[in-house]
């Protein structure tokens, strides 16, 4: 009887130790994720459009995930160009607002090496879906692009995408 109690107690203690170790591994892995940011001031540019075509005028605001404004630029003939300051931590959002304020479109920026971003209804859908999945991570953005954008079967393979679906199908960069 004493052996059974001792065995049960040892088993319980070892399960707590294992659980603690697993939790420690998860914490260590999460802390190893590198923070992405622009090392130097970077110009982002692109075109703003909707289902009717290029939107000629409006404003593009750059903000962090919490909505804090970083900078803004005006849209000229559908094009925008905005300089993001050095040390800006990613992800950031590029949000277009029409002059009347009736139309808002957004795209999420998660990579510090890409400088051209379209802003359109597709990028808006992708950004919203990624946020609903838990945030603007590469995995969520890719999954959101795959789930949101219609992709011809000829451009799919049994193991996933042929090429980068996010640029081919109006995606987030």
**For the segment 151-172, what is each residue's pLDDT rounded down to a tens digit?**
566 655 544 444 554 554 444 4
C-alpha 18/C-alpha 12 separation (Å) is 10
Note whether 65 and 11 are same-domain residues. no
* Mean pLDDT score of the chain: 80
pLDDT at residue 70 in the model: 98
How many angstroms separate the first and last alpha carbons of the chain? 66
Q: Which of 135, 115, 65 is nearest to 95 (CA)?
A: 65
Total domains, the chain = 2
Q: Among all chains, which residue has been given the structure tokens 């075109």?
A: 47
Largest CA distance in the chain: 84
C-alpha 170/C-alpha 93 separation (Å) is 16
C-alpha 156/C-alpha 169 separation (Å) is 12
The total number of residues written for the chain in this structure: 173
Q: Which tokens go with 16?
A: 């707590």
Note whether 26 and 110 are same-domain residues. no
Note whether 114 and 151 are same-domain residues. yes
- pLDDT tens digits, one per residue of 102-114: 999 999 999 999 9
Q: What confidence tier does 18 reach under pLDDT thresholds 50, 70, 90?
A: very low
The whole-number average pLDDT for the span 90-115 is 95
* CATH code for position 52: 2.60.40.1120
Asked if residue 173 belongs to a domain, the reply is no
Q: What confidence tier does 120 reach under pLDDT thresholds 50, 70, 90?
A: very high
pLDDT at 94 over 80: yes
pLDDT at residue 155 in the model: 57
Q: Which of 90-117 are b and which e, b meaning 16 or more Cβ less than 10 Å from the residue's Cβ?
A: bbbbbbbbbeeeeeebbbbbbebeeeeb
Residue 8 phi/psi, 5° resolution? -65, -45
Q: Which domain holds residue 92?
A: 42-168
C-alpha 63/C-alpha 169 separation (Å) is 25
Q: What confidence tier does 127 reach under pLDDT thresholds 50, 70, 90?
A: very high
């Amino acid at each position: 009887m004493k052996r059974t109690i001792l065995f049960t107690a040892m088993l319980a203690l070892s399960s707590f130790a294992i659980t603690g170790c697993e939790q420690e591994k998860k914490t260590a892995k999460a802390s190893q994720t590198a923070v992405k940011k622009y090392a130097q001031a970077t110009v982002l540019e692109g075109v703003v459009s909707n289902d009717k075509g290029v939107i000629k005028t409006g404003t593009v605001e750059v903000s962090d995930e919490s909505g804090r404004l970083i900078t803004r630029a005006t849209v000229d003939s559908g094009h925008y160009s905005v300089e993001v300051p050095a040390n800006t931590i990613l992800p950031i959002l590029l949000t277009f607002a029409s002059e009347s304020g009736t139309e808002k479109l957004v795209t999420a920026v998660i990579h510090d090496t890409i400088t051209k971003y379209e802003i359109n209804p597709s990028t808006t859908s992708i950004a919203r879906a990624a946020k609903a999945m838990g945030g603007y991570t590469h995995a969520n953005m890719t999954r959101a692009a795959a789930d949101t954008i219609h992709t011809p079967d000829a451009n799919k393979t049994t193991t996933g995408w042929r090429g980068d679906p996010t640029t081919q199908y109006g995606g987030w960069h």
